[in-house]
């Protein structure tokens, strides 16, 4: 395929042909993409996206695939993975970290050092870039509380620093999510000095609770719906009798109704169909519009 040959000639990093997306998502669903490119550095990333834009080839920057749903019919574009953007520098309470670094790994590392503020992130299996993009959060905290600034590539291929006020963090969204021409390269996070024993005790306590209440033994992408104001999405879904309801291999968890799991052989299309059915039935019964936290990639 000429696109793959062109990209290889650019010499921007590793190119994986006929990549199967289910191998790169926590739902374990998704067909093939044209290819996956893992750029070596910022300059190579810019060279790559310039080529893709000039040739009108669509692309998706993918973190750990922990919040996205690809169709099993495939993705007719290029996947970009920032695995090589994994630098980490800790200066007192300031963390400078690459977009490809795993969020839960970072959260555990800084927590053990006695830095507080990232405890919420120890159970989130995304990349730092993905977490900034969607303003990942839990336990009434999120990235918006700790991110001081991010280094990005702009739509006109410039490297720029965006500060917290520029990033417009809100519940599960940010400036980057609403302006997808910007790509997060690196984040600067500011934490507070705390007591490492107390921090780790809290993390362990929450970990036990997650194991007891969430279907972590199955492929999923965490909570499917945002909690409506004054209510809980999981309770609403449970109240309409949908715990255990399935379409093909996509199933509402019996452990936590706001989780959809891949119960074996699920397709992205089945997960979307199940999400749509839940939204429709909740709307009919309660007149509540459930908003999806996960991202459908067409």
């550095």: which residue's tokens? 41
| Residue 135 to residue 24: CA distance in whole angstroms | 21
Active site residue 223: yes
Check 172, 174, 186, 220 and give the catalytic one: 172
C-alpha dist (Å) from residue 70 to 20, 122, 234, 271: 10, 25, 23, 10
SS3 24: helix
CA distance 298 to 71: 7
Active-site residue, 293 included? yes
Exposure class string for 33-62: b at 16+ Cβ within 10 A, else e: bbbbbbbeebebbbbbbebbeeeebebbbb
Residue 123 is given by DSSP the state: G
Strand partners, 204: none
Is 174 a residue of the active site? no
Token duo for residue 135: 């303003």
User: Which letter does DSSP use for residue 155 in this model?
Assistant: T
Other CB atoms within a 10 A radius of the CB of residue 170 amount to 13
Catalytic residue among 111, 149, 220, 223: 223
The span from the CA of 125 to the CA of 190, in Å, is 21
Rounded CA separation 169/182 (Å): 15
Catalytic sites, residue numbers: 172, 223, 293
């Amino acid at each position: 395929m000429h696109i793959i040959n062109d990209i290889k000639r650019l010499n921007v990093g590793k190119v994986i042909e006929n990549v199967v997306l289910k191998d790169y998502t926590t739902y374990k669903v998704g067909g093939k993409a044209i290819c996956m490119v893992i750029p070596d550095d910022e300059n190579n990333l810019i060279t790559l996206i310039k080529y893709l834009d000039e040739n009108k080839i669509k692309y998706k920057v993918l973190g750990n695939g922990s919040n996205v749903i690809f169709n099993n019919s495939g993705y007719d574009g290029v996947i970009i993975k920032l695995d090589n953007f994994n630098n980490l520098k800790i200066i007192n309470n300031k963390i400078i970290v690459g977009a490809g670094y795993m969020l839960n790994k970072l959260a555990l590392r800084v927590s053990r050092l006695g830095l507080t503020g990232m405890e919420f992130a120890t159970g989130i299996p995304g990349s730092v870039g993905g977490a900034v993009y969607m303003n990942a959060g839990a336990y009434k905290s999120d990235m918006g509380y700790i991110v001081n600034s991010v280094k990005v590539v702009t739509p006109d291929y410039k490297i720029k620093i965006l500060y917290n006020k520029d990033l417009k963090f809100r519940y599960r969204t940010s400036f980057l999510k609403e302006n997808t021409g910007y790509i997060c390269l690196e984040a600067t996070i500011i934490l507070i000095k705390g007591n490492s024993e107390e921090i780790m005790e809290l993390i362990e306590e929450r970990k036990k609770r997650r194991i007891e209440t969430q279907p972590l033994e199955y492929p999923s992408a965490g909570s499917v719906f945002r909690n409506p104001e004054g209510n809980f999405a999981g309770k609403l879904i449970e109240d309409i009798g949908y715990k255990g309801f399935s379409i093909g291999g996509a199933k509402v968890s019996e452990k936590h109704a706001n989780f959809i799991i891949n119960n074996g052989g699920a397709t992205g299309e089945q997960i979307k169909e199940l999400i749509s059915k839940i939204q429709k039935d909740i709307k009919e019964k309660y007149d509540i519009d459930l908003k999806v936290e996960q991202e459908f990639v067409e």
